Amino acid sequence: MGKIKRPIIQTTNFNTVRNVCYDSLTHQHLNIIYSPPGYGKTLGLTTIKMEYPENVVYIKALASDNPRVFYSSIINELVDEKYNWKLSLSITIKRAASLFNSKDKNMILLIDEVTKFNHNFFLHLHDFRELTMDSTGIVLSGGKDLKERFEKWCLHSAPGISEFVSRFNIYQQLFPPSKDEIVTILHANNIFDKDFEKKCIKEVTDFRQLETYMDNYDILKEKLTNEKLKIITS
Taking the model in full, what pTM does it have?
0.91
pLDDT band at 224 (very low <50, low <70, confident <90, very high): confident
pLDDT of residue 233: 58
The arithmetic mean of pLDDT across residues 25-49, rounded, is 97
The arithmetic mean of pLDDT across residues 11-33, rounded, is 97
Please choose, from the candidates 106, 115, 107, the residue with its C-alpha nearest in 3D space to the C-alpha of residue 33.
115
Say if CB 150 and CB 119 are below 8 A apart. no
Mean pLDDT, rounded, of the chain: 92
The rounded distance, in Å, linking the Cα atoms of 71 and 15 is 29
- Which secondary structure element, helix H or strand E, spans residue 60, and what is its range? strand 56-60
Say if CB 17 and CB 71 are below 8 A apart. no
Order of strands, sheet of 136-142, starting from the edge strand that comes earlier in the sequence: 56-60, 107-112, 136-142, 30-34, 168-173
For residue 56, report the phi and psi dihedrals to the nearest 5 degrees.
-115, 135
Let me know if 64 is exposed, middle or buried by CB neighbors in 10 A (0-12, 13-18, 19+). exposed
Write down the domain spans for the chain. 12-173, 179-233
For residue 77, report the phi and psi dihedrals to the nearest 5 degrees.
-75, -20
pLDDT digits (tens, 9 = 90+) for 58-93: 999 999 999 999 999 999 999 987 777 788 999 999
The rounded distance, in Å, linking the Cα atoms of 220 and 96 is 49
Query: Looking at residue 8, what DSSP letter applies?
Result: P
**Domain 12-173 falls in which CATH fold?**
Rossmann fold (3.40.50)
